[in-house]
Copies of this chain bind each other. A is one copy, B any other.
Amino acid sequence: MSTTAARRERQRAQLIDAAERAIAEKGLAGLKARELAQEVGCALGAIYNLVQDMDELILRVGSRTLARLDAALSAAAPQAPSTPDQATDVLVAVALGYCAFARDNLQLWRVLFEHRMAEGATVPEWAVTEQMTMFRHILQPLGVLMPDPDEPERILMSRTLFSAVHGVVAIGLEEKLIAVPRRELDHQVEKLVRLVCRGLSKTVAA
């Protein structure tokens, strides 16, 4: 790599570092281009030599968040299940891992859902792939509980189960009046996943 290219790469990493710290502290509202430029030590306009626009910068931070979430979920359920009971335990572990990650990375995790691309812009292919890859943590155990080879049905169920767990976690961590109280959150997330799995295995048995 030429010195210029190496310097650019280093600055780019510093910019993403600075954006990550700003979001972790104050969420998307904490992300100010002027402050980032100051922290990286470049002119305001020079930021756009490092990333295309603020959307890309936010997606690059999101990419790091997803990579850490991915590692956390892999650690939560290191063994591939082979029986329905094991699959249920894996899905519970993944859901609890998700809940713990969200709690420990509240602002960075929120941004994964709050961020909307600028009008007319679409999410770039690399970011789509990263998001979709995460579903393997659900799809693999779900395959044991839904051995029927209907792949589209299993994909739909993985999204439904994810959205359901996400709903309980998101409303719970907001501590809304109508939320599951925070001290009960893990227990209720586990209960929800066990009930759905029990429902699924009952369908298989019937």
Q: A residues engaging B (CB < 8 A)? A: 113, 123, 128, 131-132, 134-135, 156-157, 159-168, 170-172, 176-180, 184, 188, 191-192, 194-200, 202-203
Q: How far is the CA of A113 from the CA of B198 in the complex (A)?
A: 31
Chain B residues within an 8 Å CB radius of A132: 177-178
Complex CA distance for A197 and B179, rounded to whole angstroms: 20
Q: How far is the CB of A104 from chain B (nearest CB, A)?
A: 20
CA distance A200 to B199 in the complex (A): 8
Closest to A162 in B: B178
User: What is the copy number of this chain in the assembly?
Assistant: 2
Report the minimal beta-carbon distance from A159 to chain B, rounded to whole angstroms. 5
> In whole angstroms, what is the CA distance A198 to B201 when docked?
10
The contact of A198 among B172, B177, B198, by CB within 8 Å, is B198
